[in-house]
Each structure stands twice: as C-alpha cells, then as structure tokens.
Amino acid sequence: MDRKVRVRFAPSPTGALHLGGVRTALFNYLFARRHGGDFLLRIEDTDQTRYVPGAEEYIVESLKWCGLTVDEGVGVGGECGPYRQSERKPLYKQYALRLVESGHAYYSFDSAEVLGQKRKECESQGKTFMYNAETRKELKNSLTMSGEEVEALLESGANYVIRFKMPENEEVVLHDIIRGEVRFNTSLLDDKVLFKSDGMPTYHLANIVDDHLMKISHVIRGEEWLPSLPLHVLLYRAFGWEGTMPEFAHLPLILKPVGNGKLSKRDGNKMGFPVFPMEFTDPDTGEKWHGYREDGYFPEAFINMLALLGWNPGTDQEIFTLEELCELFTLDRVNKSGARFNPDKAKWFNHKYLVQKPDSELAELLNGFLVKDGIACEKGKLEKICRLLKERANFVKDIYDSSQYFYKAPQAYEEKGVKKFWKEGTPDLMRELTGVLEGLREFTSPATEEAVKAWAATKEIGFGKVMSPFRLAIIGSADGPHLFDIIEILGKEETLARMRRILEKLQ
RNA sequence: GGCCCGUUCGUCUAGGGGUUAGGACGCAAGAUUUUCAUUCUUGAAACACGAGUUCGAUUCUCGUACGGGCUACCA
C-alpha cells in the first residue's frame, strides 16, 4: 500500500514542551523528510482545565528554534484545518454519535461521585475499578436503561459522557513498527470515555478522528501511549477506517540521569541541566525553568544530541547535520528500551559544534556578552580570542569567562601562583624581560617567542622559570593558552604596561 | 495490585548461535607543552539471573529478578 507519508506532532498546550516532546517532534520530522512526506503540527487542547496560556506559542517557537519546519498545521495552515482541536469541537460529536448508533459506544450518566465511590470500594478490597463489560450492567447508561429513559434524560439536559463499548474477551493483535507484535485481551481494558460532559472529545476520540481526517500515515509517539493502542485500533475498526489506519511506532521514554522514573521538569532545576528547549516561566506559579537556548546550546547540537537518544545510524558517526539525519533516519534503528539522559554528553555535543563554528560567528556571540558589560572590543581581536579559546570551551559563555584578561589588566594576582613563582630574583628578571620585549619591532607570537627563548637561553635560568611569572604578569593566573598568542592579541603596548604594573605591585 | 513494554561497560550504544564483545561520554594513566586545557596513546569498565533448545548461547525460548509505562470526563 503506497500512500503519502504524513505524520503529525500533536502536543497538548499544558506547559512547556520538554526534551521528550522535542525528540518525538524530531523523529516525526525526520521520518517525514526521509520519505518526502508532510510534517503536521496539531494542537490537542481538548482539556480546558489544563490549558496553559502561552504554551502553544512556546511549542511553535521551540520547533522553529530547533529548525523543525512544519509543513501543515497551527501557524501554517493547510487543507485539513483547523489544526487546533478546540476549533474542531463541533466535529467530534457527530463521530461519537455515529459510534453510539452503530452500537460501538453508549451514553453513560453516572456521576463522578458514584464512580468515585465505586473506585473506593474496589480499592478497599485491593482491586481496581473498571468501567467494563462486567460493571456497566450495574451502572446508569444507555445499555441498562430503556430508550425512553435515555431520551428523557438527554432532553432534560442531564450530564452525560459517551463511552466506548469495549468488547469482551477478544484477543487484539497489534503491530508496532518498533516493538513488533503486541497482544492485548479486551477483557482487561475498560470502557473509555470518548466524549466528555463538557462537549469536548477526549484524547482518544479526537486523536483517531483527526488522524483519519488529516490522512495521517504513521503515528510516531511516546511509549506512554502503547497501553491505549488497542483502544485506538478498535476505534478505527468501529469507524470502518481500518483500511487506512496509520501504522504505529512507540518511542522509548527518556529517563532521569540519576534515580528512578522518566525525565520530569523538576529534574532540570534540581540537577542543573535544562529539560526545556527554551526558558519557560510558569504563568501560574511564576517558577522559572532553564532552557537550552538561553543556556548557550546551539540548536544543531541540541538536535544532534536528541537524535542519538534512542536512535543510532549503526555507524560510529556521532555528529550529524539535520540534513544528514533526514537522510539517515529510519524507524527500525530506534531502540526499544528507555534512554537515560546524560547531561555531560549534551555539553560535549555543544563543544563539538562550538569548535566547528567560524570564529566570526563566535565573535559576534561573544560580543553580545561584552556589550552587556559595556566593553567595546574590535571584531578582529574578538575573532582571535575565540580561535584561541574555543578548544577549551563548551559554550560561548565559557569563552567570555576565560577571556576577561583580554579586556582588562589583571586586578590581582593569583596568590598561589605568586607564592610559587614570584621569587627573590624574579623582579630583576622580569625587568630585563620587559626590556627585551620593548626592543622588539615585530610583536607577533612567533617573533616574541623566539626573542624570549633566545634571551632566556643566555640566562642561567630555565625557560619555565621565566614563563610562569611572565604569565602571572599578563593574565594574573598560572593557567591559560599559549602566552605568546595572548600577548600578540594584547599588543606590545598593553603587554609592556602589564609588565610594569606587576613590577610596581609586587616589587 | 492488574495489564503492557523493556534489560550489553557508570551512561548512550554497536553487534549477534562460535567475536580478543566494538565505539562515544565520563573516569584514570602516559606523551606533547612555559602553565591549564586541547591533541595523541593507553587503561579500567558490560552481555541481570536460572532453566531449556543446541556440538556450542551474550545472541533463540520460557521463567525469575530488576527497570519503565499505563491503570481519569489528563494528554
């Protein structure tokens, strides 16, 4: 059966999209691109009570930042719209009714109190209450009541829901692209609500109806949906849509770096890594969450890291552009087991991308930090700084932090270094070195290095003994990159000024 | 509790009836270096357990253990 690949990412706007959600979106996107198909964005806002203002915008913006372009859906439009389920509200009832008419569903009038009571009773016996073939016989629904009674109740405006009539003791054999064959017995499943008393469909109904109407060919979603797969398949059958039913692929979950359970938004702030693509402030609590974007991750690195969480190409390659991923991605190389998220590796990915970035681009980013400090620095100089420091940085922020001595002479000298390297004869030595540097016409890294080495060779003292106090004078500490590269960027005048300065301060 | 899914180094994973079980992150050591990093080299580090099938099982089957998910008029 050859049909156009159409996949959807269908989040509900109940908060910020987190890592797992972005990965689901990514896999859908990659699958669509790989097969020349469409990637749709549908907003599943059927639960009015959990709606979080701004969440939808957050989702759209996140996908944009990640470079996952939507072909059809919210914010883009398309032929199967609207793509926001709340705007499709009038549509769902007729489908629910269709199922009632065909005997696949029924009205249920039980109050939340009655069901809650039932649940409690069962719990006290160590059981779980299920609205199913067994219990529905004793409850208030259109299967136990006469047609007139039901009619009267409906007309009186009584609250009702529409439930799926789960068949009894049927073996449902399902196929999942990632997991293979999965079997369920319908007797262990319950009569799920399809249509709520507030006039909205539940996820199950809306999902099936929309996937069908939007001609979705493959449903790629998180593993948490696997238990409701039999319901969904039965719904397709009940509607008579089995022939065009999408194929299903349930993705493994992303687990906490340490401890038990799946990754949750709490983990981020607790363990010091973001779980959200972008910064997010909870409109209710005012709580603020870190984002990959604001923490200095490149979207390419973020996406690359995510792609390898649960998928791999079968080779040793680990760095991929989005385009490469689009070419290589296949569902059959997605893992079955949950993947523990590794924040260290996320940083490593960013480092890889940072090193690859052109210095001009990094300089631009670095300048952003400096502007905030009121520091003006020439672009060419910033590029040199980036070239020198990027190897040892994971983020542009690291370059900013470790490049402070380029913008300002050291205000203090690292105590440990002073103690270790600033000895009795050091001032004389440094005075002499200052003279050597002063006499140089060419102040490039190789030129200064050669001159200082030549001078040091004439002294009884070792090169290292010269370099440590020299380094202290220039940057104030005993670490950092090649000193002659540093002074080339600093320039002769500034270098000499710093030499004189330490001689004044430390004698 | 019930149902479903899963299980290879600490983590992400490759592999697959006979392999020195490979790579990456992290960790450790050595080399290079004026320092710290980088880089390079090296090292430690895994087939959850028990049966069965088989000449042979980490690989296939079944159990057990462990982990995960679901069990709402939430998605």
Assigned token pair, A214? 């939007």
Q: Taking the C1' atom of B7, which residue's CA lies nearest?
A: A337
pLDDT digits (tens, 9 = 90+) for A225-234: 999 999 999 9
Distance CA A355, CA A363 (A): 13
Domains, in order of start, for chain A: 1-77+252-356 (3.40.50.620), 89-204 (3.90.800.10), 357-407 (1.10.8), 415-505 (1.10.10.350)
Secondary-structure percent of chain A, ordered helix, strand, coil, rounded to 5: 50, 10, 35
Mean pLDDT within A350-370: 96
Nucleotides of B strand lying within 7 Å of any protein CB atom: 1-8, 10-15, 22-26, 34-38, 67-75
Q: What residues does A221 pair with on adjacent strands?
A: A250
CA of A178 to C1' of B54 (A): 29
For residues A458 and A495, which has the higher predicted lDDT (pLDDT)?
Answer: A495
What pLDDT does residue A492 have? 94
Q: Which run of H or of E encompasses A163?
A: strand A161-164
What pLDDT does residue A505 have? 86
* Whole-number percent of chain A with pLDDT over 90: 86
CA of A234 to C1' of B47 (A): 39
pLDDT at A461 over 90: no
What pLDDT does residue A278 have? 97
**DSSP letter string over A261-319?**
SB--HHHHHHHTS-SBSS-EE-TTT--EE-BTTTTT--HHHHHHHHHTSSB--SSS---
The ipTM assigned to this model is 0.95
A296 touches A397 (CB < 8 A): yes
Whether cis (ω within 30° of 0) applies to the bond prior to A410 is no
The model's pTM: 0.94
pLDDT at A507 over 70: no
CA of A255 to C1' of B12 (A): 12
Q: What angle do CA A226, A35, A304 make, to 5 degrees?
A: 70
Mean pLDDT within A343-349: 96
CA of A338 to C1' of B48 (A): 16
Cβ contacts of A133 within 8 Å, gap of 6 or more? A166, A167, A168, A187, A191
pLDDT digits (tens, 9 = 90+) for A380-422: 999 999 999 999 999 999 999 999 999 999 999 998 888 888 8
Which nucleotide, over all strands, has the C1' atom closest to the CA of A127? B1
Mean pLDDT within A345-357: 96
CA of A460 to C1' of B60 (A): 74
**Catalytic residue of the set A140, A165, A196, A265:** A265
Q: Taking the C1' atom of B3, which residue's CA lies nearest?
A: A188
pLDDT at A465 over 90: no
pLDDT digits (tens, 9 = 90+) for A166-218: 999 999 999 999 999 999 999 999 999 999 999 999 999 999 999 999 999 99
What residue has token string 């030129």?
Answer: A447
Sign of the C-alpha dihedral computed for residues A17, A21, A23 and A29 taken in this order: negative
pLDDT digits (tens, 9 = 90+) for A432-444: 999 999 999 999 9
Distance CA A62, CA A9 (A): 13
Which nucleotide, over all strands, has the C1' atom closest to the CA of A262? B68
Q: Ramachandran region of residue A199, left (φ > 0), alpha (ψ -120 to 50) or beta? A: left
pLDDT digits (tens, 9 = 90+) for A262-308: 888 888 888 889 999 999 999 888 999 999 999 999 999 999 999 99
Q: Taking the C1' atom of B71, which residue's CA lies nearest?
A: A128
Mean pLDDT within A112-124: 89
pLDDT at A1 over 60: no
Distance CA A156, CA A388 (A): 78
Sorting pLDDT into bands at 50, 70 and 90, what band is A474?
Answer: very high
Check if A265 is active-site: yes
A89 touches A48 (CB < 8 A): no
What pLDDT does residue A265 have? 86
> Mean pLDDT, chain A, as a whole number?
94
Going by C-alpha positions, the residue among A6, A23, A113, A110 that lies closest to residue A68 is A23
In terms of DSSP bridges, do strands A161-164 and A193-195 run parallel, antiparallel, or are they unpaired?
Answer: antiparallel
CA of A174 to C1' of B64 (A): 27
Which nucleotide, over all strands, has the C1' atom closest to the CA of A477? B35
Sign of the C-alpha dihedral computed for residues A264, A269, A270 and A272 taken in this order: positive
Which nucleotide, over all strands, has the C1' atom closest to the CA of A196? B73
Which nucleotide, over all strands, has the C1' atom closest to the CA of A230? B4
Assigned token pair, A352? 């890889």
* Whole-number percent of chain A with pLDDT over 70: 100
